[in-house]
Structure 1
């Protein structure tokens, strides 16, 4: 369905636009299918978005929350994406605990926990063998190296096509991450990117030709709608003429 690129003046406007888009897509999913499934990203920019979502009046019992990736640390660890999201959003609203689906990190075996989460996804989405879930919304950030979720440059996770969840690797530290085929099966994928430090990687991700193994965000080409919400400092040097309206 192509991609939509929007450049917002600064972080405040970026969060405001992200909020309106996410609320729109949550409402749309619930209207059409009765529930909304959303996979979240970590990071400082999404934290501000989650704090804003927590102030909305939404039918929380119809929203199911997942994560796109997770550091392999306990759920109460300061680096945990789950912990950050609970503090910023989930603990502040009346969402049923059964609607929260964190990536497990307690087995002391990342591969075993990836398998466990895959099984949970298969059961939740009532999948047949080989089927891929369709998330309503996948929120993503992008690192200054071009990674997204825990799909890091030149790592094995980029090549995984027969799994829904796999083990990513960041400087020898394991992460759990949704795979490229799963992310690309979403109805809406939304990148939220801010900061001058993202300029060089964004130029490669948006270039007509570049190495997707070196800049993994290029691998995200969903069957649904792709949104890039950028602040001006991140988008400063981009030639957006090639972007589809």
Structure 2
């Protein structure tokens, strides 16, 4: 693992902690360090840690590094922030990516892995099933939302995060923890904005010059959240971290 470097700044108007990293290796090291700190603190405080995982290309290396760690896997529960509506063994599956890069390389209790269900259910039925799983796991009362210890997110070049895409109906869902998002005509499962905003620690990992425009919009003093959904993620009482590769700021 490379040494964790970077410099810290804060956006006062949005309470965003920003870490600028010279390359993806440094970004990965920063993410690993921050996640480990929060996971271990949660275990010390409550005997378990809940971690929401992101898909996409940026966190792959992070999961490979986590697989080399000696963490108390039996005290860690994994959830997913979103999922493409494909079978779990499909190449596009976020679950499959995590399994190949991390879970197949360690002895992780099967009962601690909570992937989003997909086919043969309908997207709506799958979202409802995951909602029920969260309600049972967190012992939620009606109207309550789960509070995850760590939520890992990415951002697309269009400003989407999880499967919350610009100008889509999923952005308006505020009475459920899970909903169906859409990328064009393609259905996906996603945690909702309120769920993400109840996280104790929300961490964005952003790399690539193609994210520069969206990042400028998201970090603007008055971001347009409907057009750049990542700007809508503002944890209520939790910490918000943006770990950003320097190429994102060079355009």
Q: Assess same fold via TM > 0.5.
A: yes
What is residue 9 of structure 2 aligned with on the other side?
A: none
Task: Give the aligned partner of residue 171 of structure 2.
Answer: 158
1:204: how far off? 0.3
Q: Which runs of 5+ in 1 are unaligned?
A: 238-245
Counterpart in 2 of 1:98? 111
Q: 2:137 aligns with which of 119, 124, 138?
A: 124
Give the TM-score normalised by the residue count of structure 1. Answer: 0.95
Q: Which residue number in structure 2 is paired with residue 186 of structure 1?
A: 199
Q: Secondary structure at the match of 1:30?
A: helix
TM-score by length of 2: 0.93
- Aligned-residue offset at 1:107: 3.1
**Deviation string, structure 1 residues 110-141 (Cα, Å, up to 9, x no partner):** 00000000000000000011111100000000
Answer 1 or 2: higher relative contact order, Cα 8 Å, separation at least 6.
1
Q: Measure how far apart 1:210 and its partner are.
A: 2.8
Q: Distance in 2 between matches of 1:226 and 1:209?
A: 17
2:151 alignment counterpart = 138
- The aligned counterpart of 1:84 is 97
Instruction: Report SS of the residue matched to 1:134.
Output: coil
Q: Per-residue deviation at 1:108?
A: 3.6
CA-CA distance at 1:95 after TM superposition = 1.1
Task: Give runs of ≥4 in structure 1 deviating > 3 Å.
Answer: none
CA distance in 2, matches of 1:39, 1:59: 17
Per-residue deviation, 1:106: 2.1
Counterpart in the other structure of 2:242: 228
The 5 A counterparts of 1:1-245 are 2-223=15-236, 224-236=238-250
Q: Distance in 2 between matches of 1:220 and 1:22?
A: 18
Distance, in Å, in 2 between the alignment partners of 1:14 and 1:235 is 14
TM-superposition CA deviations, 1:48-68 (whole Å, max 9, x none):
100000000100000000000
Aligned to 1:243: none
Mapped to 1, the partners of 2:129 and 2:78 lie a distance apart of 17
Number of equivalences: 237
Greater mean alpha carbon deviation, residues 156-165 or residues 101-110: 101-110
Over aligned residues, Cα RMSD in angstroms? 1.0
